[in-house]
Amino acid sequence: MSRILVTGSTEGLGRAAAESLLLEGHDVVLHARNRQRAEDVRELVDRGADLVVGDFTERDAVRRIAAELNGTRPLDAVIHNVGVYRGPDVMPVNIIAPYLLTALLRGPRRLVYLSSGSHFDGRPSLAGVDWQGNGPGSYADSKLFVTTLAAAVARLRPGVLSNAVDPGWVPTRMGGPHAPDDLELGHRTQEWLAVDDDPGALTSGGYWYHRRRREPHPAVHDEAFQDRLVQTLTEETDTAL
């Protein structure tokens, strides 16, 4: 069985993925933003899940969690699920945090990044991006960046399976109660890519929707843009990939 970190797993798609993987017998590491939110997953902890706590708007918290996990049994996979839709935390949570975890965590051979159909509306430009979260960030831009990061990791780390997933517009707290997509299907592709030995799940560099590989924004597979993004994130966080 695999050991999998699911970030942002106190509710929504993250919790659904964590519950399903735990039910299948995998060793799941949950993530909660703070101790209050950790109470929401007490049941899963009682059933054997591990838990890390830290606010992904704070880079030091991300670094602390990475160090904590590096001191335990190695992870086999990470589902980078955590995300915010609007406000100043968009870039810190949606792209800086997964970048730092990717750079700092030792061991994971499978990385799954949560993208969105909104990434098609993102701008393939790094000029003027507020990585610190001092003002409102563009959700579409953040999802274009994290989808590009997934493709860059697939190219730069050939021994790692790195993929991005569009879970669809599903009825979570972020998506709203009237979202039209299937909540159940919204987390199955992430789980499949994280643990399955099906040939499709053993590919890398894909952009997926309900287990079907799709063509992402053209910038995602532009190696020059990938390199600019990685270099910018390296300089911004003072942490090399």
Residue with tokens 């610190």: 132
Q: What per-residue confidence (pLDDT) applies to 96?
A: 98
Helix (H, G, I), strand (E, B) or coil at 149: helix
Q: What per-residue confidence (pLDDT) applies to 182?
A: 56
Instruction: Assess whether pLDDT exceeds 70 at residue 121.
Output: yes
Q: Tell me the pTM.
A: 0.94
Whole-number Cα distances in Å, 174 to 143, 168, 177, 189, 192: 14, 12, 9, 19, 23
Q: What per-residue confidence (pLDDT) applies to 177?
A: 60
Domain boundaries along the sequence of the chain: 3-237
Q: What per-residue confidence (pLDDT) applies to 174?
A: 56
d(CA 125, CA 133): 17
Q: What per-residue confidence (pLDDT) applies to 222?
A: 98
Interior/surface letters 57-74, b for 16+ CB within 10 angstroms, e for the rest: bebebbbebbeebeeeee
Q: What per-residue confidence (pLDDT) applies to 23?
A: 96
Runs of H (alpha helix) within the chain: 12-23, 35-38, 42-46, 59-70, 90-91, 97-104, 139-156, 185-195, 223-237
Q: What per-residue confidence (pLDDT) applies to 185?
A: 73
Mean pLDDT of 198-210: 96
Catalytic residue set:
139, 143
Q: What per-residue confidence (pLDDT) applies to 170?
A: 47
Q: What per-residue confidence (pLDDT) applies to 187?
A: 87
The domain 3-237 is classified under which CATH number: 2.40.50.180, 2.170.120.12, 3.40.50.720, 3.40.190.10? 3.40.50.720
Mean pLDDT of 154-181: 76
> What is the per-residue pLDDT across 43-81, written as a single tens digit (0 to 9) for each?
999 999 999 999 999 999 999 999 999 999 999 999 999
Q: How many Cβ atoms sit within 10 Å of the Cβ of residue 202?
A: 11
Task: Identify the band that residue 186 occupies on the pLDDT scale cut at 50, 70 and 90.
Answer: confident
Mean pLDDT of 215-221: 98
Q: What per-residue confidence (pLDDT) applies to 181?
A: 58
d(CA 190, CA 114): 8
